Amino acid sequence: MLQQLGQLPMGWLLIALIAVFGSAAFFIGRVRAERLLLSTTGRMHSRPNYHGYYVAMWSAVPVMLVAAGYAIFAEQLTRTQLTRELPSSFSALSAAELQSYLESVRMAAGTAASAGADRVFQAVTNRYLELRGLVNAGTLVLLGILASAGMFWAQRRLKPSFRARALVENGMELVLFVCAGVAIATTAGIVLSLLYESLQFFQKVSAWDFLTGTRWNAQTEAEFGALPLFFGTFMIALIAMLVAAPIGLFSAIFLSEYASPKARGWIKPILEILAGIPTVVYGFFALLVVAPAIRTAAIWVNETAIQLGLASEPILAAQPTSALAAGLVMGIMVIPFVSSLSDDVINAVPQTLRDAAYALGATKSETVKQVVVPAALPGIIAALLLAVSRAIGETMIVVMAAGKSARISMDPTSDLTTITVQIVSLMTGETGFDDPKTLSAFALGLVLFIVTLAFNVVALRVVKKYREKYD
């Protein structure tokens, strides 16, 4: 029985119980409020729905707290008790070996131990299921008691003068505050983890050498000069913005000022589809179509220059993967960010400015160039900065189309690498977290975080200035 309880899909079961108890409590609270409404001669303070929400809140919240506690502590509690009960022969195992063994037990318990498993492993697996079954049973009992008690207590408080609406709104305000707190805590956790691991890295490698060094070879744990990674990141982002900025901005101007409502209704959704295409698809397109075309064009340029006597040797690298291929495709990917945000900003320009320009005899193009675009310029700059942040953080396109060579080269047809690509490379494998190779990934992540944060802060400041001007 306990082993069967230990195999229950508790995650889905807890979600179902939250929905069931919440719905039942809402129904009970609403029915009781409607009966009070029929039996009283006065006026009720809150509508019956608010009474239902109040009872549901006191029934579902304890269930949610129990579910959260189960998700956090159930596995650790089971493993701790199982470790205490293991035979003395396991005492010789290291902490890592014991954790690996317990993880294999947990995986076997999730399916079923194979018929050929040895008796010790089978016994430990069965005991794990029994302990997990005890935890599951205790959780379900506690959940039912708390939900029933909350439902009973809340519905007893209902009466015509009960301020259910105010309490429900206060409860929702608390929920929103907790959600905001979780977001802030997550951001703080990311920053603190990056800072801690980065400080561990800078204790082993000089920060100055890391930021200004021109040789990167983290695989040998000997060379951690990240300047080539910074160069490759910003070069590919620059190429992307040279594509996305004019196309996105001109698209926004056309949609806002020249396109008919029917044309805008068709073009804008199609343009925004680009933002929904997975980046791996862009990577395949860059690798299979754009990169070979760039290499073919570069070879033609080299041959033509040599034949005309303009050069004695190839002037372009013409490699199968290149920064230019990644940058061009990344620019296509970023176009919707520029066009959508710029379109919203241009539409926000007051119509009175356009009417004033027309009254002075300005043409449509003159109004756009000399009135609309300058008025929307802060918002357009903010859109471009946000697009740059998106381009800097892109990984998949660069992995597939730009290569992994850490070098400083002004030739866009040569392969380069970026910060994000190196983070992926460094974090894959079996290297320990105290190794300089792995810690360097956190240092790169910290630099990338600071750069993108700076771009976003500048963009928000610009948007704030724009809003203050027209609000």
Q: Is the pLDDT of residue 278 over 90?
A: no
The 10s digit of each residue's pLDDT in 255-273 is 888 888 888 888 888 888 8
- The number of CA neighbours under 13 Å toward the Cβ of 163 is 5
- Give the CA radius of gyration of the chain: 31
- DSSP one-letter code for 360: T
The 10s digit of each residue's pLDDT in 49-74 is 888 888 888 888 888 888 888 888 88
The 10s digit of each residue's pLDDT in 142-153 is 888 888 888 888
Cα–Cα nearest to 257, from 373, 352, 340: 373
Q: Are 128 and 82 in contact (CB under 8 A)?
A: yes
Interior CA angle at 46 toward 45 and 51, to 5°?
130
The average pLDDT across 356-379 equals: 87
Q: Among 59-73, 76-90, 321-335, 433-447, which range has the highest average pLDDT?
A: 321-335
Q: Distance from CA of residue 111 to its chain's centroid?
A: 31
Percent of the chain scoring above 90 in pLDDT: 7
Q: What are the domain boundaries of the chain?
A: 2-162, 208-466
The average pLDDT across 127-139 equals: 80
Question: Which residue type does 30 have?
Answer: R
pLDDT for res 242: 93
Q: Is the pLDDT of residue 328 over 90?
A: yes
pLDDT for res 113: 45
The 10s digit of each residue's pLDDT in 89-108 is 555 555 555 556 566 656 66
The average pLDDT across 329-352 equals: 88
Q: Is the pLDDT of residue 335 over 50?
A: yes
pTM of the model: 0.70
Number of helices (H), then strands (E), in the chain: 18, 2
Which H/E stretch holds residue 224? strand 223-224
Q: Is the pLDDT of residue 392 over 60?
A: yes
Higher-pLDDT residue of 189 and 462 is 189
d(CA 399, CA 417): 8
d(CA 276, CA 272): 7
Confidence grade of residue 115 (pLDDT, cut at 50, 70, 90): very low
Percent of the chain scoring above 70 in pLDDT: 86
The average pLDDT across 29-33 equals: 81
CATH 1.20.1740.10, applies to 208-466: no
d(CA 191, CA 241): 28
Of 215-224, 291-300, 441-450, the poorest mean pLDDT is in 215-224
d(CA 282, CA 83): 49
Look at the chain and count its residues.
471
